[in-house]
Amino acid sequence: MTFSVALKQEQYLTYLLSDSKAISTVEVVPERGGIITRWKIQGQDIFYLDEERFIHPDLTVRGGVPILFPICGNLPDDTYSYLGKSYELKQHGFARNLPWEVTKQAADDSASLTVTLRSNDKTFQGYPFDFQLDFTYELKGNSLIIRQKYSNHSDQTMPFSFGFHPYFLVLDKSKIALDIPGSEYQDQATKKMIPYQGSFDFTQDEIDAGFKTLTRSSATMTDNSRNLKLTLTWSDIYSTFVFWTVKGKEFVCLEPWTAPRNSLNTGEKLTQLPPKETCEAVFEMKVEAI
């Protein structure tokens, strides 16, 4: 049997998706924000994970693939207004901090796990909409696919943005080559638009670059120190791409977002889902040896 889904009890109940032919495994921790924490291909870790932060439930996870919903980035003073009322949402929203429920698993033509998050008393405090998110993680060969379904069970149109914040393990940033589909980005610290020539200065303490105009729905990173090439592809609804890293840390983040930060206030590229309707999207990560 090539594909399997198994369970292991660690600090959190962890689901292990495996493709024995490709020697590929993915770990998912539903109760910790529905997060994918690890992906190994032939013994090589693809994702970075800060183990110290992960074991503390009060800290956000720095590593794996955090889920961003119902906002990407932050809001000024963590607040937005809806129908004359002010609400508070922390950076990247609440989906990455809440427990998700496993609703389906399969191991026929891939190893797959579906996790679900439904609106509840906690989410209503900062986001007054009745929703359901269903994410299916599919592992097959050297590809990891995240199929997403966003459902609006409210009687009113539901505004939101969504995205992912994958942390890729990079041991030597000077040895990576990036192909990001944009010619300029906004520097988060200065808010200035900066021409993008295909590389970044990794001597900076932090790089937080938001590409708001994308020329295609894919990006690549070639890591010459590990002889790996990573290809990311995403649905057209993703309009923004963020590159983030911190000096001295062995990760870079390549993040597809559907809208830039603060879109809940500005309306810029915001998804407006009519009552009782659903929105679907796909994000795929593929790794090849070079």
Interval 85-120: pLDDT, tens = 999 999 999 999 999 999 999 999 999 999 999 999
Domain boundaries, the chain: 67-289
In the prediction, which pLDDT does 175 show?
Answer: 96
Question: What does the radius of gyration of the chain's CA atoms come to, in whole angstroms?
Answer: 18
Is the pLDDT at 279 greater than 90, yes or no? yes
Q: Would you say residue 186 has pLDDT above 90?
A: yes
The topology (CATH level 3) of 67-289 is Beta-galactosidase; Chain A, domain 5 (2.70.98)
Under the banding of pLDDT at 50, 70 and 90, the label for residue 251 is very high
Cα dihedral sign, 58-17-281-152? negative
55 pLDDT above the threshold of 90 = no
pTM: 0.97
The 10s digit of each residue's pLDDT in 3-33 is: 999 999 989 999 999 999 999 999 999 999 9
pLDDT exceeds 90 at position 1: no
Q: In the structure, what pLDDT confidence band is assigned to residue 127 with cuts at 50, 70 and 90?
A: very high
Mean pLDDT value across the chain: 96
Distance, in Å, from the CA atom of 186 to the CA atom of 190, rounded to the nearest integer, reads 8
d(CA 175, CA 195): 21
Give the model confidence (pLDDT) of 220-246 as tens digits: 999 999 999 999 999 999 999 999 999
Q: What is the pLDDT of residue 52?
A: 87
For residue 69, is pLDDT > 90?
A: yes
The answer on pLDDT for 57 being more than 90 is: no
Where do we find the tokens 């599919």?
138
**pLDDT value at position 58?**
85
Cβ(36)–Cβ(24) below 8 Å? no
Dihedral sign from CA coordinates of 252, 260, 77, 189: positive
- Give me 201's structure tokens: 């200065």
Percent of the chain with pLDDT over 70: 100
Report pLDDT digits (tens) over 140-168: 999 999 999 999 999 999 999 999 999 99
User: What pLDDT does 241 receive?
Assistant: 98
Burial pattern 49-59, b for ≥16 Cβ within 10 A else e, equals: bbeeebeeeee
